[in-house]
Amino acid sequence: MSIAHLALYLLPTLLLPLNAAAQIVARGNGPEPSTLDPHRCQEVACGNIVRDLYEGLVAEDASGQLIPGAAESWTRSEDGLTWEFRLRPGLRWSNGEPLDAPQFAASLRRALAPQTAAPMAALLRPIANAAAVSAGAMPPERLGVSAPDVSTLRITLDEPVALTDRLLLPIAFPVYLPALAQFGTQHTRPGHLVGNGAYVLQTWTPQASLELARNAQFHAVATVAIERVRFVVTEDAASELKRFQAGDLHITETVPPKTLTALRAQFGQQLRISPYLGSFWLGLNLTRPPLRENPALREALVLALDREILTRHVTGLGEQPAWSIVPPGTRDHRLPATSASNWPREQREAAARERYAAAGYDRERPVTLELRYNTSTVHRKLALAVAAMWRQTLGARVVLRNEEWKVFVQNRRARVITQVFRGGWIADINDPLDFLATFSGRDNPLNTTGFADATFDALLQRAAALPSGDARRDLIAAAEAHLLAAHAVVPIYFYTSKHLVDPRLRGFEPNPLDHHASRWLRWDHAAAAPPR
Amino acid sequence: MNEGTASTAPRSSRSLHGLRRVAGAALTALVTLWLLLTLCFALLHSAPGGPFDSEKAAPPAVQAQLAQRYRLDRSLPQQYLAYLYDVARGDLGPSFQYPDFSVNELIAQGLPVSAGLGGLALLLALMLGVPMGVLAAAREDSPLDRALMLLGAAAQALPKFVIAPLLILLFAVELRWLPAGGWVADDWRYRVLPVLALMLPNLAWCARLTRSSMSEALASDWLRAARARGYSQTRLLLVHALPAAALPLAAWLSPALIAVITGSAVIEQIFGIPGMGRYFVQGALNRDYTLVLGVVLVAGTLVILVNTLVDMLRTWLDPRLRNTTI
């Protein structure tokens, strides 16, 4: 065989697809994760990885249903205030050390300690004394968690919330405290990080990728099919798409803003779009003129928008038009009946003009509004369309203001110069209160509209004190109706999650929080390779 | 030792003079860097919005704890002095956005990647661009010259955010020869496309600069004199014209080298490369004060170093510069 021949044979092996090693999955994961400390993790990018590295008392299956996690069973007291979790026998950390209930309790105390400064601490507020502990007014030992024996964890609450939903959050995951004591903030490095999830951290190259390997100590390791997972930093959706097309990625974090039809034509069943517990709205600053004490004008703004056109032609990725705040499919929630959503266009626009006139404006004396959004192509497109609709239907003059992200966020929170602004919320837990609570309390930093209403706040408080069920659902419905009647926001659409998934990959199932733990994935080697 | 004293006296005074010059240059460099840091610190802190402003604002208690951890609860002059003290000890502080890493670590990981890719790209650009320019100048207005210069103009005009996706589309998506992006240490395949994308605009600059200064040199009187002596064309080109033509190239080299070493945010983002370039952009957007100051300090140091080296190179190339003080 000549050297030329040899080179001909060798060349293809050198240029083989990079993920040819069968049991590896490469996932696009958006920006660099801010941290791998579960108690400090706030954004989607770290959440995806942390859910592979750690496991809480409870877990989610591929479709998002609650299943036992580190606890094999649990009981809730009659009043819903005391929960007892029975840990699985023989639980171990990834380094082989036993994991018991006192360690779970210590972890929760650390999560809520003031020094941890956990951004999501408010979601564990229902645990007894949590507020005082995280404010530093009480020592962490006073937190309502205890371990009566090595395999039982008892959590006492101040409010009978659905605790298991909150225990799915990374802030409730156990952290291996000896590593924290030894390495400080570096306890999340490969080699230092000790977890109890389905995977362990192997490598972490900031701004490039993280590689995880199956954790032999995981209690359900026999059911975990994928041996290695690579989370890849993909900041640019267009580049991510190309890497998927090239076969370097098997799952993408998102898709670039193209129309649904174009993406469908190109990717067919590889494109996975499903409802996501997120809501997009335009906030109205109720503390400043002209929107303050002007419900008629606010209602006119709500009525004048054609959400079908906005979602089909402007955002275009299967978003569902919204006339309310809480997305459909949220637990303890029913979609409020908003009559305007079914009106034909003429009726809706006539009603909008009628309200506009009632507010004291017409085409000769139009209102001038500032519509503020953070710099992004998608937001700009939407703002342009909204401004055009308000101008056409009402004759309103809309000035578009785009701002750099941090400036925008600060202005929105300060409520001093804003009028109409981009708003929205992505749920952390499957609970309508997660959405509605952003409108309660004037001093709440999340309350960007300045909506302050005692009735609304009282309804939310009563709902928070009830366990899941019809009574709670009714209170939540009343609260949402109250908020909508005040027209504090202009609902636009409910979000969808958008991914490209290799057709040979199984176990990637749609779920409302868009959580896709790698332990549920597996390769179907019989399936056809993606068409190129 | 004593017998040498008399003869070494003038030499030691010369070296003392040299030492003084080096010390002076070092002092100037330090003051420059200090001014740079101070300006940057003031600009960053006067920009609206802070590192912990986000879509979901943390509760005030958490904000206060974070502020305390990062010393943001102190007055600006106190923060500034504390930061300078840390920098003087070589500690650039923890990153605000990536608290699991210190800025030292992030730069230690990012700079070699950026510098490696950029250095290779520039080296290739020089190795290919100079011969291209010489060739084009030697055959001025020939079809070869026009073709090379047309290619150069195209590579110069096309922005990196166009070249890079085109390369990916061709070599990764269509031909599937190379990965479409990402980074695996010690795997050359991940470096090919980024180096190519970084090299092309530099290659174009280099070729066009070489060509124009070469043709200027070739038209000069002293070259005509050399030609009249009957030297060969190769000797005329390489020994006589090229060193003179290299001067503008050396002047171009210092900004080009700094730009490629500190990394290109565009290229790094498109290819998903863990370099330092994207920290300039990301750090500023995230108000990651320590990270921005850190990369600015490193870039500033590099600018001073590279400028000094290039000045030395130019002095070596151009005897006229030798007796002037820089």
Contacts of A242 in chain B (CB under 8 A): 165, 168-169, 172-173, 180-181
Q: What is the dihedral of CA B188, B189, B194, B200, to 10 degrees?
A: 90
Q: Using 50, 70 and 90 to split pLDDT, how confident is the model at B6?
A: very low
Please determine, for residue A12, whether its predicted confidence score (pLDDT) is greater than 60.
no
Mean pLDDT across chain B: 86
Q: Is the pTM of this model over 0.90?
A: no
Helical spans, DSSP H, in A268-419: 295-303, 307-309, 345-358, 377-394, 405-414
ω into A491 cis (within 30 of 0): no
Q: Token digits for A25?
A: 């999955």
A428, A294: one domain: yes
Distance CA B93, CA A480 (A): 46
A291, A200: one domain: no
Distance CA A41, CA A342 (A): 41
Please determine, for residue A340, whether its predicted confidence score (pLDDT) is greater than 90.
no
B56, B178, B182: residue with CB nearest A446: B56
Q: Using 50, 70 and 90 to split pLDDT, how confident is the model at A299?
A: very high
Distance CA B203, CA B200 (A): 5
Domain boundary among A174, A193, A214: A174
Q: How many CB pairs under 8 A join A and B?
A: 150
CA atoms within 13 A on the CB side of A80: 14
Residue type, B97: Q
A517, A468: one domain: no
Q: How far is B76 from chain A, CA to nearest CA, in Å?
A: 20
A28, A61: one domain: no
Chain A's closest residue to B51, CA to CA, is: A406
How many domains, in total, are found in chain A?
A: 3
Q: Mutate one of B54, B65, B166 to test the A interface: name it (highest A CB count within 10 A).
A: B65
ω into A290 cis (within 30 of 0): yes
A192, A43: one domain: yes
Please determine, for residue A394, whether its predicted confidence score (pLDDT) is greater than 80.
yes
Length of chain B: 326
Least confident interval from B6-10, B108-112, B299-303, B306-310: B6-10
pLDDT at A374: 92
Please determine, for residue A279, whether its predicted confidence score (pLDDT) is greater than 80.
yes
Length of chain A: 532
DSSP string of A205-235?
A: ETTTEEEEEE-TT-TTGGG---SEEEEE---
Contact assignment for B165 to A34 by CB distance below 8 Å: no
The Cβ of residue B203 has, within 10 Å, a number of other Cβ atoms equal to: 25
A244, A297: one domain: no
Contact assignment for B110 to A207 by CB distance below 8 Å: yes
A301, A417: one domain: yes
Contacts of A407 in chain B (CB under 8 A): 48-49
Q: How far is A36 from chain B, CA to nearest CA, in Å?
A: 8
Q: Using 50, 70 and 90 to split pLDDT, how confident is the model at B2?
A: very low
B100, B106, B177: residue with CB nearest A36: B100
According to DSSP, the residues that pair with A68 across neighbouring strands are A58
Q: Is residue A270 part of a domain?
A: no
Q: Token digits for A457?
A: 């706040």
Distance CA A475, CA A464 (A): 9
Contacts of B94 in chain A (CB under 8 A): 185
Q: Token digits for A153?
A: 């964890």
Q: Mutate one of A134, A192, A210, A239 to test the B interface: name it (highest B CB count within 10 A).
A: A239
Asked if A71 and A100 touch (Cβ cutoff 8 Å), the reply is no
Q: How far is A342 from chain B, CA to nearest CA, in Å?
A: 32
Contacts of B101 in chain A (CB under 8 A): 206
Range of the domain at A451: 277-496
pLDDT at B8: 46
A411, A308: one domain: yes
Distance CA A143, CA A153 (A): 13
Helical spans, DSSP H, in chain B: 5-46, 60-69, 76-88, 103-138, 143-157, 160-167, 189-218, 221-228, 233-235, 242-261, 265-271, 277-286, 289-317
Contacts of A417 in chain B (CB under 8 A): none
Asked if B284 and A407 touch (Cβ cutoff 8 Å), the reply is no
Asked if B208 and B148 touch (Cβ cutoff 8 Å), the reply is no
Of the candidates B209, B206, B174, the residue with the CA atom closest to the CA atom of residue B193: B174
Q: Using 50, 70 and 90 to split pLDDT, how confident is the model at B323?
A: low
Q: Which residues contact A137 (CB under 8 A, 6 or more apart)?
A: none
Contact assignment for B97 to A34 by CB distance below 8 Å: yes
Contacts of B287 in chain A (CB under 8 A): 406
Chain B's closest residue to A241, CA to CA, is: B180
Q: Compute φ and ψ for B267, nearest 5 degrees.
A: -60, -40
Contact assignment for B272 to A118 by CB distance below 8 Å: no
Q: Compute φ and ψ for A2, nearest 5 degrees.
A: -75, 165
* A75-91 pLDDT, tens digit each: 999 988 999 999 999 99
The ipTM estimated for the assembled molecules is 0.84
Please determine, for residue A15, whether its predicted confidence score (pLDDT) is greater than 50.
no
Domain boundary among A118, A146, A174: A174
* A202-234 pLDDT, tens digit each: 999 999 999 999 999 999 999 999 999 999 999
Of the candidates A239, A269, A241, the residue with the CA atom closest to the CA atom of residue A531: A269
CATH number at residue A475: 3.10.105.10
A242, A138: one domain: no
Q: Is residue A63 part of a domain?
A: yes
Q: Is residue A298 part of a domain?
A: yes
The Cβ of residue A419 has, within 10 Å, a number of other Cβ atoms equal to: 21
Contact assignment for B98 to A35 by CB distance below 8 Å: yes
Q: Token digits for A440?
A: 């309660």
Q: Using 50, 70 and 90 to split pLDDT, how confident is the model at A240?
A: very high
Please determine, for residue A359, whether its predicted confidence score (pLDDT) is greater than 60.
yes
Q: How far is A90 from chain B, CA to nearest CA, in Å?
A: 31
A428, A281: one domain: yes
Dihedral class, residue A512 (left if φ above 0, else alpha if ψ from -120 to 50, else beta): alpha
Gap between the terminal Cα atoms of chain A: 34
Q: Token digits for A321?
A: 């038009």
Tell me what the mean pLDDT of segment A235-257 comes to: 92
Q: How far is B108 from chain A, CA to nearest CA, in Å?
A: 11
Contact assignment for A410 to B185 by CB distance below 8 Å: no
Percent of chain B exceeding pLDDT 70 equals 94
- Name the CATH superfamily, with its identifier, for domain B111-287: MetI-like (1.10.3720.10)
Contact assignment for B182 to A248 by CB distance below 8 Å: yes
CA diameter of chain A: 90
Least confident interval from A268-272, A357-361, A521-525, B3-7: B3-7
Q: How far is A461 from chain B, CA to nearest CA, in Å?
A: 18
Asked if A52 and A517 touch (Cβ cutoff 8 Å), the reply is yes
A402, A385: one domain: yes
Q: How far is A308 from chain B, CA to nearest CA, in Å?
A: 26
Asked if A338 and A484 touch (Cβ cutoff 8 Å), the reply is yes
Contact assignment for B168 to A114 by CB distance below 8 Å: no
Q: Using 50, 70 and 90 to split pLDDT, how confident is the model at A9?
A: very low
Please determine, for residue B113, whether its predicted confidence score (pLDDT) is greater than 50.
yes
Angle CA(A292)–CA(A359)–CA(A306) in degrees, nearest 5?
Answer: 90
SS3 A75: strand
CATH number at residue A73: 3.90.76.10
Distance CA A413, CA A447 (A): 7
CATH number at residue A202: 3.40.190.10
DSSP string of A398-455?
A: EEEEEE-HHHHHHHHHHTSS-SEEEEEEE-SSS-HHHHHGGGS-TT-TT--S----HH
Contacts of A110 in chain B (CB under 8 A): none
pLDDT at B84: 93
CA diameter of chain B: 85
Least confident interval from A25-34, A414-423, B236-245: B236-245
Q: Is residue A191 part of a domain?
A: yes
Chain A's closest residue to B107, CA to CA, is: A206
pLDDT at A522: 94
Q: How far is B88 from chain A, CA to nearest CA, in Å?
A: 23
* B293-311 pLDDT, tens digit each: 999 999 999 999 988 888 8
Tell me what the mean pLDDT of segment A134-145 comes to: 93
Contact assignment for A409 to B53 by CB distance below 8 Å: yes
Please determine, for residue A17, whether its predicted confidence score (pLDDT) is greater than 60.
no
Q: Is residue A373 part of a domain?
A: yes
A166, A238: one domain: no
Least confident interval from A7-21, A271-285, B157-171: A7-21
The Cβ of residue A314 has, within 10 Å, a number of other Cβ atoms equal to: 19
Q: Compute φ and ψ for A27, nearest 5 degrees.
A: -115, 130
Domain boundary among A174, A196, A217: A174
A185, A208, A411: residue with CB nearest B182: A208
Helices and strands per DSSP (H, E), number in chain A = 16, 18
